[in-house]
A = this chain, B = another copy of it.
Amino acid sequence: MYIKNPHLKKILEKYRQIVTLGQIDAVLGWDLNVNLPPKSVEGRARQSAAMTELIAKQWLDPELKKLLENVREDAAKLLPVEKAILRNLEREGKLYFKAPTELVVEKSKTVAQAYVAWQKARQENNISDFFPSLKKIVELDRLIAEHLGFSENPYDALLDLFEPELKVSDYQKIFTPLQKELKAMIKKITASRGYRGKTDLGDGELNFPADEQRQLALYLLKKMGFDWESGRMDISAHPFTTQLDRYDIRITNRYKPEDFIGSLMVAMHEGGHALYEQGVNPDFDLTPLGGGVSLSIHESQSRFWENQVGHDFEFIEFLTPLLQAFYQEQLGRTGSEFLGRLLNRVRPGPLRIEADEVTYNLHIILRFELENALVNKQLEVEDLPAAWAKKMQHYLGIIPASDREGVLQDVHWAYGSFGYFPSYTLGNLYAAQIAAKMKQELPLDNLLKHGELGTILSWLRDNIHQYGSLYWPREIIKRVSGEDLNPDYFLSYLKRKYGEVYNVKL
């Protein structure tokens, strides 16, 4: 990568240190979730806080500030790649440049405590244990939004931390028609004859040993193109992907004895994130162009593998003999047709992570609306459970049996990640748009039927992965598909697929 601007060259040297410290913090985070002995939670929080402060210090280095000013002055003369670097630097450093350090540190400490409070509240199904932390997070996030600045809505500023270029009003333009369409589909599906058919494996007493689930997941990831010399798969309560180094991308999984599909889909989902990171142009390593460009594009990759591949009927046909060989006793002669229906079962339910493709985005829209209300002081933290229940009733016809199945189900708010959720839905929409384009260029159905995932990965590498963070989401999707984000691809995909599954016109 050729860099001409001398100030930017110096900045890139400093940035290497920032990335390195971030990677070290990622090691701490991975280990926290995978290995930490219970009594050491406080110690790990202290260690992570130290890293947060060191990273903040790097961003606030006066020399960096001065160099950035110099580069901004040269902005007009920058090469395209230099412009991309500057743009990403501004974005990544934004929180540090605009919010007071004390506020950033305060947030990080609050979040550490909130996580513990959330865990306890969730375990004991006692949400009032979590209210104080959540209130504080909302207050801090409002303050942070003020410092970051916004023109229309303070929530815009928070959304922007996770996904560039989109405001509340943009999301609303996408979400309003989307939720109407989804609600209409769900109504038709749940009223269909197929909805009442048998789509489970029996009495729920089947046992799929963890070892075998893991072997299958490893096989599938290998088939997808995961580089096992540059990564691992371990166990954690909540699956995730993390980058400890360009050549150390780790995913986690969990193995429920009764559910052999779950760990496979987790493997494909997290594998999708990991393959994105493993496929970035190595020239971008340790620069602001390294790594995936945004949460939504990242999620487009994980959802592509999980849904467009993993839940595809052709692919399930490919997978079935293997599943039958692994689980001869449990599956018997259960065929691919039945497994396809099992994986593509639509069931409105209270839990986001268990939601199917049709209902999933309504879970997200609900959270988006509640976050917007909280940040804009139209809703108080104490009133969340009631508001949640009302919206669940409205969107999915469901009232959660407990807060554990409601407000407490996700970790995101305990992590202080207000503004994160909408990127999941963007990811779903992008995934369908990407798949539609891929189908024009590749015999996708045929590849899936024969498990030729390598060709798919190559296409994703060529069109998306290699660029890392060089192009922003809007640009990358335009380059890939020739147009802006277009939710129609997702809706057509759902209508076609689930129309067939439930034999109903959607």
Q: Copies of this chain, how many?
A: 2
Choice from B24, B47, B54, B227 contacting A245 with Cβ under 8 Å: B47
Q: A42-B247, A54-B54 are in contact. List 9 more A-B contacts (CB 8 A).
A: A21-B50, A27-B27, A27-B31, A31-B31, A35-B232, A39-B247, A40-B246, A43-B248, A44-B245
Chain B positions within 8 Å of A35 at CB level: 232
- Contact of A47 (CB < 8 Å), options: B24, B37, B39, B43: B24
Q: Is the CB of B43 within 8 A of A23?
A: yes
Task: Tell me the count of chain A residues lying within 8 A, CB to CB, of chain B.
Answer: 33
Residues of A contacting B: mostly: helix
- B-contact bits for A108-144, CB 8 A (1 contact / 0 none): 0000000000000000000000000000000000000
Q: Is A492 an interface residue (CB 8 A)?
A: no
Q: Contact at A231–B47, with CB atoms within 8 Å?
A: no
21 residue pairs of the A-B complex, CB under 8 angstroms, read: A20-B50, A23-B43, A24-B28, A24-B47, A27-B27, A27-B31, A31-B31, A35-B232, A36-B248, A37-B229, A37-B232, A38-B229, A39-B230, A39-B247, A40-B230, A40-B244, A40-B247, A40-B248, A43-B247, A44-B248, A54-B54
**Any chain B CB within 8 A of the CB of A228?**
yes
Residue ID in chain B nearest A54 by CB atoms: B54
CA distance A246 to B23 in the complex (A): 23
Decide yes or no whether A46 CB sits under 8 A from chain B. yes
CB distance from A290 to the nearest CB of B (A): 12
A29-60 contacts to B (CB < 8 Å): 31, 35-40, 42-44, 46-47, 50-51, 54
Nearest chain B CB to A218's CB is how many angstroms away? 14
Q: A24-B24, A247-B37 are in contact. Are A17 and B232 (CB under 8 A)?
A: no
Q: Contacts A31-B31, A37-B231, A228-B37: A17 and B50 contacting too (C-beta < 8 A)?
A: yes
A271 CB to nearest chain B CB (Å): 15
Q: Which residues of B contact A231 (CB under 8 A)?
A: 37
Looking across the interface, which residue of chain B has its beta carbon closest to that of A34? B35
